[in-house]
Structure 1
Amino acid sequence: MANIELIKKLSNSFGISGFEDEVIEILKSEVRGYVDSFEVDPLKNFIAVKSLELAKPIVMLNAHMDEVGLIVKGFTSEGYLKFSKVGGIDDRVLLGKRVVIGKNRVKGVIATVPIHLQEQSERNRVEKAKDMVIDIGVKSKEEAEKLVSLGDFVGFDVKFEQLSENTFVGKALDDRLGCALITEILKEKFNFPIVALFSSQEEIGLRGATVGAFKYTPQISITIEGTISADFPDVSDHEKCTTVGNGPVITIKDNSVITDHELRGKLVKIAEKLKVPYQFKQVFVGGTDSSRIQLTKAGVKVLVVAVPVRYIHSPISLFNINDYENTKKLIIEFLKSL
């Protein structure tokens, strides 16, 4: 059974790119006793290793810890906060959202002008993030500076919860679902060395993975993601990318990588043998850490397997727990076949 409490804990934690510390502490407590050692490198990659003494090819499991969010860049004289985006966020999803700021967990809301006070021209355009402010309920710059510092992270104030029998919603499911899956998989027994690379700063350019695979370079790497689903009524079937509830998503190609054909074929055969539902990512967009890992040293064979998630890169996302379970089952059986 899926460890819902672990997913909840990871989703509710804050880990904007460059501020992954809270996620790292959760992962440390979860993998302790199931791996031989772990470390945090200078870019805040969290790396856990298991059975390196075995004279067999190293397999890497990769998921990124960071989430999209905002960062404080200034104050107005009235005590509002100016901010910049961290990672790819659509400006349209920001206005009116509750946020949490910095280590002091200051509460705020991204300010919006009531529709009653908007000119017609304002109603027909999207306000840009650079023009938005965060209201923390104070009246001056001096008051704001006592609570918040320049460079503080800003995360979305959203709590993980169950929506229906099989669906759950929460923030940062891209890629806390991958982090939770690797944590659960590490508790299984395998007869080869495993390196778990929980990477940092993926959302701002795959930065953590660029260096994270160098110390323990694998022969095979599986990146586990929460990926795009646009399975809405007004979207053509071939543009939905993935469908929530239809099983693990296997990537053939995206904007950054072409996965290994032989390994992918083996993964599909195992899914069919186990009667695990699966789907291919239909729209070749986005990119993952796999593209950086693939180019490490003399090259690495890579796969990308994902849980389909609606509304990624927004304050709240949705997934089906059966997709999570089937992803875990498929990856474990694939690893046992190596």
Structure 2
Amino acid sequence: MSRLTIALDIMGGDHGPPVILSAAKQAIQTLPDVQFILCGREEIISPALEDLTDDQRQRVVVQHCEQSVEMGEAPTSALRNKKQSSMRKMLELVEAGEAHACVSAGNTGALLTLAFYVLKTLPGIDRPALVSDMPTASHHRVFLLDLGANVNCTSEILFQYGVMGSVLAEQISGIQQPRVALLNVGEEDIKGNAQVKYADQLFRNARGLNYIGYVEGDDIFTDNADVVVTDGFTGNIALKSCEGLAKLVINEVKRQSQESFFSRLMARIALPLLKTVYNRVNPDQYNGASLLGLRGIVIKSHGNASADAFYYAILQAKQEAEMNVPEKIKSKIETVLLEQL
């Protein structure tokens, strides 16, 4: 497997194969150094590839899968009854070394369960974490985790998240000694629950991590930290709130710019600026949450992702595969995490 290979779950997502296939074709056409394995029903996939060039078609393998995991399906059902599903097959391709990474917009709970079962976690990692990057005031990216993989986290798991997030920030953003922070209800030492306070102690006692202490919710966007650690319950709420606010701002600007002739005129004048702001806050470009801590690269796209958003998730998979993120996490664990256990 000399060429970088990415497996895609074509059947997952709220909008089904049409959106995923559109993103897949965009990736095939714009990433000539990548081979793709498309997992799903061949009778749906193959007709959509007919307009590809011969060279592009040679970089695509269609892996027929009889089953697919439904968006509302229980994770245990997906594990027990969907052994021939497109989601499971793409994970098995990564486990077997036939793909360097995989991407799915399917059922989050099922993906977490199947990935945990098929790929297993790295030594020293109890549970994988969902992590994604978000914009900051200084145009840098901040990595937030966990985004919903584990709603209840021990202090030790929060510490593991910090180690993994530090590696991701270093490899993806090129930051030397990324600043790691714990999300809390205040920056003072007396604030927070017992779980967060003990995690704070673990971070302070760790060697090889640039831990800066607590941050509050508004600090996520101020570039005060490169990695913000929290449990999946809080992280998921923070993520969805941020996405909702971004969409509100975008829609409100559109609405206000059409209210009168004067507003339409001013909108045309300010169009370059508005496009810049839109590109900064558009949630599509931040689609693609990494499932860190596994023995392979798994990227979770939003279920309702557009074709452009899913394409960004594919780019995330490519970048992590090129950086060999799991191996870097394993190395960091050996030098930092295992010393603490």
TM-score, length-scaled by structure 2: 0.33
More strand by share: 1
More helix by share: 2
TM-score, length-scaled by structure 1: 0.33
